[in-house]
């Protein structure tokens, strides 16, 4: 009888503990309770419960801790300082899968906040245990372990190197091949986080044979998985030409172009990022993308989205056009220039405008045909207004100035140059007048048009220091015309005429 009473006491205690831990775990899901929980000293209470006899209590305590640590980094630091991590790591190796999932969740929650906390996790030897968890049969455990590893590797190159040294990469590649979609997502995101820091890490990921598996999964219908895959491929391809070539050899073109038509915005963004990272290395890779019709797909993609999603696509066009004039011509005939000028005028943010200005400059700087193609769309006045406006950021001003200069140096399309005579500041005016002085001596119709449109008058009004380049250009323009016309349009001519009238003595009859 008394035995039962004794046992009852224990049962009640156990029920109380279970109830407490479950309630704390539930309360921790809501952010507004967490402050109160913290002030009530929940950490110190949860810590002994981790070592509880009953496995359910352990698991729920770990879950509660994880949720608390997830919320903000003070709590995560408290977890680290409270020496909970070694215990977690030790039991990760031993316990059942629910506990493993919860413990991996705690490690992930602690490791995501800052590099120092992630370093603390690495220091207590969690990486080896997490890698062992990656070999577990249960996909949930694998997912939790992969997630934790991904968050640790995200911060900087040393932590990534530590993760790689623990032997995580081949196991992650195996995880990608598993049938569960969530596991694939997490494994792809972990690989992406590992390979983004340095070429050596990316090479390690490639050596484990990741590219083939990643490339196979591009056609998977799940949008979040596609995001991670494309992000992983772009992080690998961005480091060097060899890696980009390896990514291309996995035959992602033209399949990747279908991702540019996806409904999900971030899939589009990551796909255009991947294409950009490949295109920026060498002209041959850009040529490959052009031959596969990538430029048209990217231009359509730019047309269909707004804001930051467009940015990688715009940069990709700039990189392709920068390599050679044939590629720039390919961009022009794919109708890229009207789209870019649309971006330039309608986007509100400065950095996107700066990217569009830079891309237009790269397209138009090669030959007079290219400059003409850019000038015809009336983008030059827009660029000029961006350069001159006081509200644009310095980066935007510098880029638009560079673009204007490089396009103007090749532009022979005079109707586009004429408005520049009136509005441009002196350093740009020099180039404009220089272009006029190159074109006018050879083209009689243009000369006539120049006079009738009032350009000659404006040129006469320009003040230039004698001996400067501007003065030479003005002289060469004046030499194209007979002296009377030049004198007629020079300022103050009416005064000189009137003076002559005043001083004229009529012949006495």
Partner 1 sequence: MREAMATLARLQARSKAVGQQYYFRNSVVDVFRKKENDAAVKIQNWFRGCRVRAYIRHLHRAAIIVQKWWRSYLSRQHYQLVVKLAYYTMKMNLYNEMAVRIQRRWRGYKIRKYCFDYFYLKEYLRAVTETNDAIRDALEEFAEMKEREEKKAALEREEKKRDYQARKMHYLLSTKQIPGIYNSPFRKDPDPWELRLQKAKPLTHQRPRVKQKHSISLTSWLACTSNRSFPRSEILPPINRKQCQGPFRDIAEVLEQRYKPLEPTLREAEPINELKEAREDLRRQEWIRNVNDNMFLPFSSYHKNEKYVPSMHSSSKYGPNSYGCQRFRDENPKKWICPKEKETRSNMDHKNKGQVNTSLIFM
Contact positions vs partner 1 (CB under 8 A): 179-180, 216-217, 219-221, 254-255, 257-258, 260-261, 263, 290-297, 300, 322, 326, 329-330, 333-334, 358, 362, 365, 395, 398-399, 402, 406
Q: Smallest distance, Å, CB 168 to partner 1?
A: 24
**Calpha distance 430→405 (Å, rounded):** 10
- In the complex, least distance from residue 282 CB atom to partner 1, rounded to whole angstroms: 14
Nearer to partner 1, 87 or 282 (CB): 282
CB of 16 to partner 1, least distance (A): 34
The DSSP line for 138-174 is -HHHHHHHHHHHHHHHTS-HHHHHHHHHTTHHHHHHH
Q: For the residues of 293-346, what is the DSSP string, one character each?
A: THHHHHHHHHHH--GGGGHHHHHHHHHHHHH-HHHHHHHHHTTHHHHHHHHHHH
Q: Which residues contact 229 (CB under 8 A, 6 or more apart)?
A: 188, 214, 217, 218, 220
**In the complex, minimum distance from the CB of residue 422 to partner 1, in angstroms, rounded to a whole number:** 25
Q: Which of 89, 206, 194 is nearest to 149 (CA)?
A: 194
% helix, strand, coil for the chain, step of 5: 80, 0, 20
Asked if 176 and 217 count as a contact pair (C-beta separation under 8 A), the reply is: yes
Closer residue to partner 1 (CB): 16 or 219? 219
**Residue 229 region by backbone torsions, left for phi larger than 0, else alpha for psi between -120 and 50, else beta:** alpha
Helix/strand/coil for 280: coil
CB nearer to partner 1: pick between 111 and 318? 318
Q: Are 252 and 270 in contact (CB under 8 A)?
A: no
For residues 395 and 369, what is the distance between their CA atoms, to the nearest angstrom? Answer: 28
**Among residues 100 and 213, whose Cβ is nearest to partner 1?**
213
Residue reference for tokens 């932590």 = 159
35: CB partners within 8 A, 6+ apart = none
75 or 289: CB nearest partner 1: 289
Nearer to partner 1, 4 or 263 (CB): 263
CA distance 252 to 218: 8
Least gap, CB of 354 to partner 1 (angstroms): 9
d(CA 376, CA 385): 17
Q: Which is nearer to partner 1, 354 or 417 (CB)?
A: 354
Q: Who's near 349: CB < 8 A, 6+ residues apart? A: 307, 308
Query: What is the smallest separation between the CB atom of 291 and partner 1, expressed in angstroms?
Result: 7
Distance from C-alpha of 434 to C-alpha of 427, rounded to nearest angstrom: 11
Please state the closest distance from residue 228 (CB atom) to partner 1, in A.
17
Q: Can you list the pairs that 221-227 forms with residues at least 24 positions away whose Cβ atoms lie under 8 Å?
A: 222/181, 222/185, 223/262, 223/263, 223/264, 223/267, 224/185, 225/181, 225/184, 225/185, 225/188, 226/259, 226/262, 226/264, 226/267, 226/270, 227/264, 227/266, 227/267, 227/270
Kindly state the smallest distance separating residue 430's Cβ from partner 1, in Å: 14
Of 148 and 297, nearer to partner 1 (C-beta) is 297
Tell the smallest beta-carbon distance from residue 290 to partner 1 (Å): 6
Q: Which is nearer to partner 1, 88 or 330 (CB)?
A: 330
Residue (84 or 320) nearer to partner 1, CB: 320
* Shortest spacing between CB 179 and partner 1, in angstroms: 5
CB of 340 to partner 1, least distance (A): 16
Q: Which is nearer to partner 1, 167 or 254 (CB)?
A: 254
């Amino acid at each position: 009888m008394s035995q039962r009473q004794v046992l009852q006491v224990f049962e009640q205690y156990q029920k109380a503990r279970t109830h407490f831990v479950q309630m704390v775990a539930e309360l921790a899901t809501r952010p507004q309770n967490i402050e109160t929980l913290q002030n009530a000293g929940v950490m110190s209470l949860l810590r002994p419960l981790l070592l509880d006899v009953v496995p359910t209590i352990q698991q729920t305590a770990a879950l509660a801790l994880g949720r608390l640590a997830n919320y903000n980094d003070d709590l995560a630091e408290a977890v680290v300082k409270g020496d909970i991590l070694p215990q977690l790591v030790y039991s990760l190796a031993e316990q059942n899968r629910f506990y493993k999932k919860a413990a991996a969740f705690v490690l992930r929650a602690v490791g995501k906040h800052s590099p120092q906390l992630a370093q603390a996790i690495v220091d207590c030897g969690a990486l080896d245990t997490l890698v062992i968890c990656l070999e577990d049969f249960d996909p949930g455990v694998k997912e939790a372990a992969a997630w934790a590893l991904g968050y640790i590797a995200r911060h900087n190159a040393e932590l990534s190197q530590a993760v790689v040294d623990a032997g995580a990469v081949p196991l992650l590649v195996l995880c990608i091949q598993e049938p569960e979609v969530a596991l694939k997502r997490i494994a792809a995101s972990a690989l992406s986080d590992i390979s983004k820091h340095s070429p050596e890490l990316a090479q390690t990921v490639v050596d484990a044979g990741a590219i083939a598996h990643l490339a196979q999964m591009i056609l998977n219908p799940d949008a979040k998985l596609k995001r991670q895959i494309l992000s992983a491929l772009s992080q690998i391809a961005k480091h060097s030409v060899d890696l980009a070539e390896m990514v291309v050899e996995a035959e992602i073109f033209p399949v990747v172009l279908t991702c540019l038509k996806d409904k999900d915005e971030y899939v589009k963004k990551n796909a255009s990022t991947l294409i950009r990272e490949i295109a920026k290395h060498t002209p041959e890779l850009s040529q490959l993308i052009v031959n596969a019709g990538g430029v048209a797909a990217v231009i359509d993609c730019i047309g269909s989205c707004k804001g930051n999603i467009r940015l990688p696509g715009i940069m990709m066009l700039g990189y392709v056009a920068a390599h050679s004039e044939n590629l720039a011509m390919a961009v022009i005939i794919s109708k890229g220039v009207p789209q870019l000028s649309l971006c330039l005028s309608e986007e509100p943010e400065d950095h996107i405008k700066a990217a569009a200005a830079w891309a237009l400059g790269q397209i138009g700087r090669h030959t007079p045909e290219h400059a003409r193609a850019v000038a015809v769309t009336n983008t030059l006045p827009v660029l000029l207004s961006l350069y001159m406006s006081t509200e644009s950021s310095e980066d935007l001003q510098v880029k638009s100035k560079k673009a204007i200069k490089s396009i103007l140096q090749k532009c022979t399309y005079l109707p586009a140059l004429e408005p520049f005579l009136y509005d441009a500041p002196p350093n740009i005016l020099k180039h404009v007048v220089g272009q006029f002085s190159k074109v006018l001596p050879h083209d009689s119709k243009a000369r006539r048009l120049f006079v009738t449109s009032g350009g000659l008058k404006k040129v006469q009004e320009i003040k230039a220091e004698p001996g400067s380049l501007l003065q030479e250009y003005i002289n060469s323009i004046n030499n194209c015309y007979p002296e009377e016309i030049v004198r007629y349009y020079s300022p103050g001519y009416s005064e000189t005429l009137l003076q002559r009238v005043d001083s004229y003595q009529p012949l006495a009859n």
